Structure 1
Amino acid sequence: MKFNIMLRRLLFPISLIWWIVTCVRNFLFDTSLLKSYNIPHKSIVVGNLSVGGTGKTPMVIYLTKLLYEKHELQILSRGYGRKTNGYLLVNEDHTSIDVGDEPLLYFTKFKKNIAIAVSENRADGVQQLRKIQPKSVVILDDAFQHRKIKAGFSVLLTTYNSLFSHDFLLPAGNLRELRSGAQRSDIIVVTKCPLNMTEIEKSNVKSELSKYNKPIYFSGISYSDPISFGNTAYCSKNVLLVTGIAKPEPLIEFLSETSRVEHISYPDHHNFSVNEIQKIHEKIDTFVSENWSIITTEKDYMRLLPFKEKWGLSNYPWFYIPIEMKIDNENAFNQLILDYVRTI
């Protein structure tokens, strides 16, 4: 811990350079010296100021569930971690290697209802999607810093335990850009809040973020029962948790309430290898005298699915655990989104 603090202090001069770069870049866009593509019709950006782990994927899923039954809807993502380039419309034949784990997750959940695409060039991606449905609502996953496009509505996420207002620019901190970038948002959602969060705690957070003069909402994560994709439907209370996400701590905390948990952690969007899976299976084999289950996240499941049979996952007690975003003052939040979408 002390080493990390010392290292970040040493990196502070580099953060000053990044501060200059982001200031100049934002100035050029704010003064229209650099042009932004104004997305026609309705569009919603979901993003953050910090790197990783703020709950963008659950928010995109939440908004999709809110809107897709009564509105034409599309999702555009960069497709982080994919091995392809350019614009791709996600289809049944794609794997996470082709399009990334998050777009594949969206497709798995909503493929019958909406078009989902990936493109590192967001402006080109939106234009390609518009050819399919010119007047759809486009949800852009993790595009808050993409100043080359301008969406109609921006949802900025920040985690309860690591508010952007307490953070610093990379690499001394975790911010991609200055805190003042929050002024471009339409609402701020504080994510991964405690389920028993008090009104005093909410008031303290609102006071901390009041300088940005944006509506503030609070959200938490709800975990569903584990779903089997292995050789048993019964999930044990002895859990080997395998994650390749940015911040697995809330999941660890949740499982630890009722289970004995051992955790194997990999980097965010990690593409698993056969050797890594073999080591996981070997570890489970050492617990032969006890009943253990392997649990992973739904995003990690997207990356494991193509190798389920080839790597023998179906022969072991593998499960994934779906999550859902729960928003405090949900009706007011929903109405704010619906009012934007419905306006002409």
Structure 2
Amino acid sequence: MKLLRYILFPIVPIYYIVTWIRNKMYDNGWKVSKSYDFPVICVGNLSTGGTGKTPMVEYLIRLLKEDVKLATLSRGYGRKSEGFQLGNTNSDAKDLGDEPFQFYNKFSEDIIVAVDGNRQEGISKLLNNNPKPEVVLLDDAFQHRKVKAGLNILLTTYNNQYTNDFVLPTGNLREPKNGAKRANIIVVTKCPINLSASKKQQILSKINPLSYQSVFFSSISYSTIVIADNKIIEIDKLPNFKLVTGIANAKPLVDFLKDKNLNFEHLEFKDHHDFSTKEIEYIANNNCIVTTEKDYMRLKNEPSLNAKLYYLPIQVMIDKAEQFDAIVKSFALR
């Protein structure tokens, strides 16, 4: 794969120019971005996948759900349905996509969960909903320029910062680096815990934030238990297990479990993988299976898995969280 990316390097300038022109057309008003008279918050990235958007959206849900009627709007990547879909008691990952179904599974009593590939139409239909949301969280919509969010939160990972990357196909950037100027908040995600002040300053120097931009650092906190719908196991008491991942970057999770000296076999699949019957049969050939929460949403209804399938919860920890929370709340609760 790396060799192919180097071979495709001559295409990089073409991709760069096309995406740069598209952004310029929106920036200069030649293509129209729709603004709204209520708070719309966008969480996204410049790179392809794996920056921690889902745990960040969940952080925002927990932050705001007690104060406002909140809706999440996602594309619903990997779902089998089409058009606008509203989460309900009959929904599953095939209807909503794994990440939106995760939001619905955890927060359905407090928020509205919707999916639509066209975010403009999705917002329009949400506004006709009863109850109508007061704040909309757009999941993975930084490049969806037809909607102009009032607050843009851009994520970039500690180990693969956009400042050090190239556009596709040689690099991982969906658009040129200068697209970061649209962000109001930039969060460097998946940082080591207790990241030094000097290392933070090095990163800040590379990002070189503009006057209206705030930069934060976050890390992932793994739980000490694994969970199924009706039971839990302390992670230190896990028997030999299979770890099943269908995420963009499983290395931090694998490293965490190895540091715990746990015995497991890792079955790694691509992000949003659609598991085949044969793959599920192979996965089921074990008495204990641990997966990510996102993968759990797709696998938990499989009869051969549901009695022995668990997920490991994670949460985002933000350095200077009070400052971050204050910026978000001052926008959302205005």
Write the deviation string for residues 237-293 of structure 1: whole angstroms up to 9, x where unpaired.
5332100111111111111111133211111111212211211233x3xxxxxxx63
2:159 equivalent to 1:161:
yes
CA distance in 2, matches of 1:138, 1:305: 28
Match of 1:103 in 2: 100
SS at match of 1:222: strand
CA contact (8 A) 1:229 1:320 kept: no
Write the deviation string for residues 116-163 of structure 1: whole angstroms up to 9, x where unpaired.
100000000011111225561100000000001101000000000000
Mapping 1:1-344, distance limit 5 Å: 4=2, 6-132=3-129, 133-134=131-132, 136-213=134-211, 214-224=213-223, 225-228=225-228, 233=233, 235-258=237-260, 259-282=262-285, 284=286, 293-307=288-302, 309=303, 312-315=304-307, 317-343=308-334
CA distance in 2, matches of 1:231, 1:163: 38
SS at match of 1:63: helix
Match of 1:288 in 2: none
Ranges in structure 1 where 5+ consecutive residues have no aligned partner? 285-291
CA contact (8 A) 1:41 1:135 kept: no
- Kindly report structure 1 stretches of 4+ aligned residues shifted beyond 6 Å: none
Q: Which amino acid aligns with 1:221?
A: I
Q: Which amino acid aligns with 2:247?
A: I
CA distance in 1, matches of 2:74, 2:161: 24
Q: CA deviation at 1:232?
A: 8.4
Matched residues, percent identical?
A: 45
CA contact (8 A) 1:42 1:135 kept: no
CA distance in 1, matches of 2:100, 2:5: 33
State how many pairs are aligned.
328
CA contact (8 A) 1:231 1:318 kept: no
Q: Which amino acid aligns with 2:332?
A: V
Q: CA deviation at 1:215?
A: 1.1
Q: Which amino acid aligns with 1:20?
A: I
CA contact (8 A) 2:156 2:189 kept: yes
Ranges in structure 2 where 5+ consecutive residues have no aligned partner? none
Bigger Cα displacement from structure 2, 52-61 vs 190-199: 190-199
Write the deviation string for residues 180-202 of structure 1: whole angstroms up to 9, x where unpaired.
00000001000000013111111
Task: State TM-score, norm by structure 2.
Answer: 0.94
SS at match of 2:325: helix
Bigger Cα displacement from structure 2, 56-65 vs 18-27: 18-27
Task: State TM-score, norm by structure 1.
Answer: 0.91
Q: CA deviation at 1:13?
A: 1.4
CA distance in 2, matches of 1:29, 1:153: 17
**Cα 1:218/1:237, change in 2 over 3 Å:** farther
CA contact (8 A) 1:231 1:314 kept: no
